[in-house]
Structure 1
């Protein structure tokens, strides 16, 4: 579904991604694990068209998406839930969700998708007319994910969905991630909570200082002493 080959991305003179390659198959949950500043968010922004790589290849469903504007990439079926939620605080929950569907014209289908979002996140239906900025952190994360789903993505990019949430809410968010995946949406997940990320993933890539240093199934990564020590709290 998504094939990335030898991507190099710079912020000015800083070489942020140094030849990253990975692939994602339809129906998978693939997770990216790495420390802060390793390049995980940079990779998601590059896929979704917010950053332009200097070289390399990005193909989605056998089509190059290199250099395409972000809205064209959304239209092709890739939605991005950014780190820090980035909801529109002065708008209502309803208006935020409507913005998620702004490229769509199929009103009846949009209505059905509201229902799907409410099934996943009943709290959003309760808060329908409330200003988004007054929601709790967990509710804002739900809104950010719901807004992305309103674009009806085939591939969902999730950047740090558990950041700043209480442990109970983290479990809820990860259960919902699995539910979204079970309805047919492929997911690329960036997550600092490596244990939780590996518990839902089909495959994982470990990024350090802009390079993929390891990849494999969660079972393979769980057996790696290097990964246990660095990311899983093991000795």
Structure 2
């Protein structure tokens, strides 16, 4: 579904991504693990068109998208849940969800998808008229994910969904990630909590200083001394 081939990304003169390649197959959850500043967020921002690579190509469903605008990328079926949630604090929960569907015209489909979001996140239905800025951190994360789903994506980019959440809520968010994937949405997940990330992923890539240094199935990476010492506290 997605192929990233040898991309280089710079912030000014600083190179953030150095020849990164990876692929995501339809129906998978693929996770990226790595320390802060390794380039994981930059990679998601590049896939969603917020940054353009200096070199290399990004191919989504057979189409090259490395020079495409973020809006056109959403139209193609890629939604991005950014790090830090980035909800619209002054809008209600319902209005935030409507913003997720701003490119769509199918009113009945939008209504059905809103119901689907409320089924996944019952807390959001209870808070439907509430200003989004007054929600708890966990509720804001649910809203950011719900808003992305309102675009009816084929590929969901999730950046640090567990950041700042209590352990019990982290479990809830990850069980919902599995449910979203079970419903047919392919997921590329960036997550600092390597234990949780590997527990839901079909495959994983380890990124260090802008390069992929390891990749494989979660059970293989669990056994890697490098992964154990750096990310699993082993």
Q: How high is the TM-score relative to the length of structure 2?
A: 1.00
1:145-164 to structure 2, matched below 5 A, reads: 145-164=145-164
Task: State the partner residue of 1:75.
Answer: 75
1:66 deviation in Å? 1.3
Task: State the partner residue of 2:103.
Answer: 103
What is the aligned length?
234
Deviation per CA, 1:119-156: give whole Å up to 9, x if none.
00000000000000000000000000000000000000
Partner SS for 2:83: coil
1:50-89 to structure 2, matched below 5 A, reads: 50-89=50-89
Task: State the partner residue of 2:119.
Answer: 119
CA distance in 2, matches of 1:69, 1:34: 27
Task: State the partner residue of 2:176.
Answer: 176
Q: Which runs of 5+ in 2 are unaligned?
A: none
Instruction: Check if 1:204 corresponds to 2:204.
Output: yes
CA distance in 2, matches of 1:215, 1:120: 31
CA distance in 2, matches of 1:229, 1:66: 35
Question: Which stretches of structure 1, 4 residues or more, deviate above 3 A after TM superposition?
Answer: none
CA distance in 1, matches of 2:121, 2:71: 25
1:105 deviation in Å? 0.3
CA distance in 2, matches of 1:124, 1:173: 13
Deviation per CA, 1:94-113: give whole Å up to 9, x if none.
11000000000000000000
Q: How high is the TM-score relative to the length of structure 1?
A: 0.99
